[in-house]
Amino acid sequence: MRLRLDIAYDGTAFFGWARQPDLRTVQGVLEAALAVVLRAPESLRVACAGRTDAGVHARGQVTHCDVERDLWASIRARGPLAPLRRLSGVLPEDLRVSSVATAPEGFNARWSAISRTYCYRISDVPGGPDPLLRHHVLQHPGHRGLPLNLDALNEASQILLGENDFAAFCRRRAGASTIRTLQDLRWERDPVTGFVHMWIRADAFCHTMVRSIVGALLPVGDGRRPISWPGQLLAGARRDPDAEVAPAWGLTLEHVGYPEDHELANQAMRARTFRGPDQD
Amino acid sequence: MRLRLDIAYDGTAFFGWARQPDLRTVQGVLEAALAVVLRAPESLRVACAGRTDAGVHARGQVTHCDVERDLWASIRARGPLAPLRRLSGVLPEDLRVSSVATAPEGFNARWSAISRTYCYRISDVPGGPDPLLRHHVLQHPGHRGLPLNLDALNEASQILLGENDFAAFCRRRAGASTIRTLQDLRWERDPVTGFVHMWIRADAFCHTMVRSIVGALLPVGDGRRPISWPGQLLAGARRDPDAEVAPAWGLTLEHVGYPEDHELANQAMRARTFRGPDQD
């Protein structure tokens, strides 16, 4: 039977999502914890909706794993919160599980998802970001002591919306499409922290795509590039050596969207067919 | 001439505010940075509004220091943001200066203040707090899997409001008053993070007073003590061995209030006379 686990992590001390020998990764630590709590075999595997890079954080990551029905039932019998409590006790403080539940029929954390929402946080004040939040915010001063120009950022972002070939913002992989649908992209100033937030949502993202988009837009916000620059990169349809990739630590996976339960299996089949192997 | 510096810090890696030989403290690190930037003598001293304990954080800490007019003028001549930029370049990431400016006549960061506002943050969800915010939030589950009872917490807090002798919640110091005026005390659930926040404001606080109040109220919120318990402690007017002091890392100094400029010197004189030596 399949479990859905919603998780959150501070990516600072992880070498990204994907299990790697001898490196501390989110997948590796989570699988080890589940093996302990579920007394499951070491071969237990977890799949996720957004395979974050080293240093990238997550608040709303969604994962699934398949476990034996009897093992699950024996822990669940100790009360509705027992699985969550036991997992929390085993996991380190920088990796938390916010919910564990049996997944609906046809659910696949990765392929059933219809949207991923990320937030990239930037502090543009001269003194640097709030020390309590510094681990997940990029310090990037605006131009000549002025704050980042949010109007320019939002205007330049428009051209990227909708279905496009994002090859200019992706690392290409053989046989995989770089066509994605950008559903939302907007820049706001958070009224509480004063940070600049870039909220971005798409059906899925290629590898390094969000950070490449931030890297293309930031020079517009600080006045180094014209508003037309990100659109030119997109039209070029290949990596431009002048385009930067923003640092990992400003980026957080905030939310993953799924269709109604009866659509989960169909969506998984469609996404797999369209995006090809090994792409989020 | 006197400078006012507004600062913020992550208290995790500091042994509190007050300079101590061979320990990393906020005062020690700040004085060393100012000595470098202002090319001032090593004897330069900084005073603050709230002398936070080891592990306690600050967003709105206010400090002052006296510097030679010529030294300040020479840095200020490089532009309005030059002092802030140079300090930020020298300071570590866990200690930030948000503003530096010449202080108004009669200003004393500590004695002119008329209020200090602290926030104590608690996560009561079974899985533990958001890993990105875990360094400044206490994990404290409610009673039997239920969330903390905010109505009970707010009701129990009422008795502490106003002018009281807070000897039950203070470490006594010879010759110093333990009478304080609690101006505000309320418990809220933050709609964004889901954390429970205790906001507390007083003219000033004694040593460990905020954390002792949290320690007295939390057992009311999780059902271990009746609503009358904090009032009983207050009336006892001395440390009760059953009363707990909440951990430092949940506590943040958020704001310091000052009167109008023409009242700064008078307020400093009044506070000094009333509170006696060595008390915030």
pLDDT digits (tens, 9 = 90+) for B45-103: 999 999 999 999 999 999 999 998 888 898 889 988 889 989 999 999 999 999 999 99
Residues of A in contact with B124 (CB under 8 A): none
CATH fold of the domain at B2-102: Alpha-Beta Plaits (3.30.70)
CB atoms within 10 A of CB A79: 11
For B171, the 3-state DSSP assignment is coil
Residues of A in contact with B90 (CB under 8 A): none
Would you state the pLDDT for residue B278?
54
Within chain A, residue ranges assigned H as helices are 26-37, 69-76, 82-90, 150-157, 209-221, 229-236, 264-275
Would you state the pLDDT for residue B159?
95
Place of tokens 């006379």: B273
| Cβ-contact B26, B52 below 8 angstroms | yes
Identity of residue B88: S
Q: Which among B81, B129, B136 is the nearest to A126, CB-wise? A: B81
Say if A181 is an interface residue toward chain B (CB within 8 Å): no
Task: Tell me if B2-102 shares its fold with B115-257.
Answer: yes
Say if B142 is an interface residue toward chain A (CB within 8 Å): no
Contacts of A210 (CB under 8 A, 6+ apart): A118, A120, A200, A251
At residue B277 the predicted structure's pLDDT band, cuts being 50, 70 and 90, is low
Report which of A179, A169, A171, A254 is spatially closest to residue A217, judged by C-alpha positions.
Answer: A169
For A162, the 3-state DSSP assignment is strand
- Is the per-residue pLDDT at A237 higher than 70? yes
Mean pLDDT of chain A: 92
3 state SS for B4-60: EEEEEECHHHCCCCCCCCCCCCHHHHHHHHHHHHCCCCCCCCEEECCCCCCCCEEEE
| Cβ-contact A245, A215 below 8 angstroms | yes
| Cβ-contact B215, B187 below 8 angstroms | no
CATH fold of the domain at A115-257: Alpha-Beta Plaits (3.30.70)
d(CA A187, CA A251): 14
Residues of B in contact with A124 (CB under 8 A): none
At residue A277 the predicted structure's pLDDT band, cuts being 50, 70 and 90, is low
Would you state the pLDDT for residue A266?
93
3 state SS for B65-125: EECCHHHHHHHHCCCCCHHHHHHHHHCCCCEEEEEEEECCCCCCCCCCCCEEEEEEEEECC
Give me the residue spans of the domains in chain B. Answer: 2-102, 115-257
More confident: A190 or A274: A190
| Cβ-contact A195, A137 below 8 angstroms | yes
Question: Per the CB < 8 Å rule, is A96 touching B57?
Answer: no
- Is the per-residue pLDDT at B280 higher than 60? no
Say if A10 is an interface residue toward chain B (CB within 8 Å): yes
Q: What is the mean pLDDT of residues B209-229?
A: 95
Say if A88 is an interface residue toward chain B (CB within 8 Å): yes
Q: Is B70 a catalytic residue?
A: no
Identity of residue A191: P
Lowest mean pLDDT among A214-218, B214-218, B246-250, B269-273: B269-273
Would you state the pLDDT for residue A186?
97
Report the percent of chain B where pLDDT is more than 70: 98
Question: Per the CB < 8 Å rule, is B128 touching A85?
Answer: no
